[in-house]
Structure 1
Amino acid sequence: MARPEAKLKELKTAELRHEVGARSELVVKVNRRSERRIIPYGEEFLFEKLPVGTRVIYPPPPLDPLADADQAIRYALLHPENQDPLFAQLSPNMRVTIAIDDISLPLPQMRRPDIRERLLNQVLQTLADYGVDDVHLVIATSLHRRMTEAEIRRVVGERAFKQYWPDRLYNFDAENRAELAMLGKTDHGEEVWLSRRAVESDLLIYLNINLVPMDGGHKSVAVGLAPYQSLRHHHNVGTLRDSHSYMDPTRSALHRSSDRMGTLIHESVNIFQIETAVNTRMYGGMLDFLHKNEDHFTDWDRTRLKGFQWTMRNMSNEMRRTVLHNYAAPYGMIGVWAGDTEAVHQKALARVFQQYAVPVKGQADILIVGVPYICPYNVNSIMNPVLVQCTGLGYLFNMYRNKPLVREGGTMIICHPLRDEFHPEHHPSYIEFFH
């Protein structure tokens, strides 16, 4: 991803800070004069003194968002990758299904209007302009929990919700055999099942958000609209153990399997993929100090940190959880592409890596990770002990390319209060399994 050193010197300062190879300042070594470091700790934050010599990795600064997101979406629909423009693929009597990423991304939720609402409004307007009225909106939950009415309304916006809910806007039901269709098997013997509505549509439009490289691509349709019969081939212990790294989909067994399935799906289903990418602006306003290197804190930053800690410490666990889940991040959209799945995904991946990649030299003996209050599986819910392990060992450990941050035989310290708390509706099976 990094440009040659000679090229880097030609870049302006504003561009230079976003070059992956020029991000050595994001890996900070602790010395005797270093400030304590903030570490996520469930619904709280630790503020700890770390041993001298510890390396602390910070996220890259947010890339500038697109100046006009709606205009960028219109351009993508009119200039797709390796396909005709969306309007040119439409006719009045066709059946169209729009599949939409669920609330497992981004984390935390974004401020309104959600990117999915922006995409949906323009796609629906294009369909209406060309007389397409057989349209269903399907939340691509796969085997995630179903989104509530309020959650769906927040994601798709009032316009789409009022027009389509509940008959033509609904959660995908992966357990309803009548709503499923089998398309065949891959050359690896993997059964490919999919939403029957999607299979029987003249056009399937997928609306995606990329936060990290594990999202998007063939995984969108092949996983988001698939039941257990397909997921069992790649969401299993053996395959996930062989996944190597979520940051490098080319080496992930999960992605290789979903790519094979996606290729087969494309033989039967006409897919128009729309992918977006967001920047790292997770905290804004009074919480923007959480983006900073603690050695660079101002007096105002320290005052806000103390106030934030005091406030959170004096709330009940339930109140803290409610406050944090209601927080909406000021993410900015840094890219949008439409058209052929593979071509679109390659452009999205390049943008995501530009935003998130940090070069780290050498593995560590000990890796410390803070597990926050949220992961893809507990939005508006409880981060229970099973999900803490999933987040720490499944996600955070695997956020690397080439080699893990911690060496083989090393130690990983996961910071979380690990309370014996479970959401009885969202995670009922976890309770008996855990105890």
Structure 2
Amino acid sequence: MATHAHSPAPVFEFGDPAPNAVGRKALVPHDGCVVELEKNSAPRLLWYGEDLLDVKMPAGTRVVYPKPTIPGLADRAGAIRHAIANPEGMEPLAALLKPGIKLTIAIDDISLPLPKMKRPDLRQTMLEIVLDLAAAKGVEDIHVIIATSFHRRLTAAEIRRAVGNRVFRSYYPDRLYNHDGEAPGGMVELGSTERGERVRLNRRAAESDLLVYCNINLVPMDGGNKSVGVGLCDYAALQAHHNPQTILACDSYFDHARSALTQSCDRVGEIVNRRLKVFHIETVLNNAMFDPRMAFFTKNEDRWTALDRASFRAAQFGLAKLPRAAKRKILFGVPACYDLIAAHAGETGAAHAKTLAYCYAQYAAPVEGASDVVVFGVPFISPYNVNSILNPLLVQVLG
């Protein structure tokens, strides 16, 4: 980012997942993340669906920019292996894998990360590590389920890109497939919470001796008890928390202490973890959404170079002239440069607490005080239209 390009490399320290530790205890620099505009400030870049706008904002407007990117780990496979060998609150994964057990591995669908990450996808890295370890331990009964919840099913090509050629060829389609919350006989009822929230899970996962969940965290609302309890549920379970009442009761989806959705998922997770043996692998990505050629997207516009301005104008002009189908193909085709900054594994809550500390450290910038009006540019993408069209209903959801 331009605002931090010449700052000395920070020393990163983590470990405080307390709510609202954002930007203060997380110890990632945030100077310059909030900029107050002046009369002569440059116009600001805003997404406008599949197009780009430059909008002159009034003096006094505060603009929030991303925090500086935490450098990725040099050996991400090594970090994941270390996490599963040194888990939080559980035995190492190797000790849980035994000949004759029924093993199910669940992975996140492609609703995250957004945009898609460069290959190899972290799902591929995690799966290959877990499957190699399972093979070494003599485990043969293995299924891999994509935890779609009620998102659309992934296509074969999308699955191949997420898991890699080796896993795809070995397991698809009989032992690598999308979760189906409407399959007759495909769900199992595990019970209900004290608030009447039904807990229903994919039968294969629920009846396994061990369920391993491979997660990618891009925002603090993902991972934790939400992974299994939502990703592998059906509508009878989903409607307990994916409803207007729960949404209205959330002060923030991204602050776990003030999210009614997270609290509901945690109650569901208590039952899941009592009934099932679940080993979580959670990974956290940095915020390197754009490659260096598109660095202007995250820079303070007042600090754009001549190259930044030329790049923006070229992108704006080109997108304005293209038909919508061509725009979507280009925009969805450009992968992000995300990199792994943390990997933790083991018991659901213990592993997720470590994850949250890194999420807040990377993504949350402190903004003091309230605003009367907040302006967001609605982009071309959301978790619900990957490789597809952002329809009017989804625009309302994003708004």
Q: Give the CA RMSD over aligned residues.
A: 1.3
* CA positional deviation for 1:309: 1.3
Q: Higher relative contact order at CA 8 Å, sep ≥6: structure 1 or structure 2?
A: 2
Paired position in structure 1 for 2:4 = none
Report the Cα distance in structure 2 between the residues aligned to 1:275 and 1:391, rounded to whole angstroms. 26
Aligned mate of 1:110, from 117, 122, 140: 117
Q: Match of 2:343, SS? A: strand
Given that 1:17 and 1:23 are in contact with CA atoms closer than 8 Å, whether structure 2 keeps it comes out as no
Choose from 4, 9, 13 the match for 1:14.
9
Conserved in 2, the CA contact under 8 Å of 1:143 and 1:228? yes
Q: Within 1, Cα distance between the matches of 2:375 and 2:84?
A: 43
Tell me the residue number matched to 1:36. 43
Distance in 2 (CA, whole Å) between partners of 1:143 and 1:366 is 33
1:371 aligns with 2:378: yes
| 1:48 aligned residue | 55
Distance of 1:203 and 1:176 partners within structure 2: 22
Match of 1:281 in 2: 288
For 2:156, give the aligned amino acid: E
Corresponding residue to 1:83 among 75, 80, 90: 90
- Farther-moved stretch of structure 1 (151-160 vs 239-248): 239-248
Q: Which runs of 4+ in 1 moved over 3 A?
A: 16-19
Whether the 8 Å CA contact 1:175–1:227 is kept in 2: the answer is yes
CA-to-aligned-CA distance 1:185-216 (integer Å, 9 cap, x gap): 11111111001101110000001111111000
DSSP-derived class of the 1:97 partner: strand
User: Distance in 2 between the 1:278 and 1:121 partners?
Assistant: 19
Secondary structure class of the residue paired with 1:14? coil
Distance 1:306 1:273 in 2: 45
* 1:113-132 pair list within 5 angstroms: 113-132=120-139
Alpha-carbon shift at residue 79 of structure 1 (Å): 0.7
CA contact (8 A) 2:30 2:68 kept: no
TM-score, length of structure 2 as denominator length: 0.93
SS class of match (2:70): coil
> What's 2:306 paired with?
299
Residue 230 (1) aligns with residue 230 (2): no
Look up the match of 1:134.
Answer: 141
1:25 partner SS: coil
Deviation for aligned residue 1:285: 3.4
By how many angstroms is 1:13 displaced?
3.7
TM normalised by structure 1 equals 0.86
| 5+ residue gaps, structure 2 | 1-6, 14-21
- Quote the sequence identity (%): 48
1:166 match: 173
| 1:85-100 equivalent positions in 2, closer than 5 A | 85-100=92-107
Q: What does residue 72 of structure 1 align with?
A: 79
Whether the 8 Å contact between 1:97 and 1:197 is mirrored in structure 2 is yes
Per the alignment, residue 153 of structure 1 pairs with 160
- Tell me, yes or no, if the aligned pair for 2:111 and 2:386 is still in contact at 8 Å: yes
- In the alignment, is the contact (CA less than 8 A) between 2:112 and 2:218 conserved in 1? yes
What residue number does 1:198 align with? 205
Q: Name the residue aligned to 1:361.
A: 368
- Structure 1: 5+ residue runs without aligned partners? 1-11, 393-435
Specify whether residues 272 and 324 from structure 1 end up closer, same or farther in structure 2 by C-alpha distance, changes over 3 A only: same
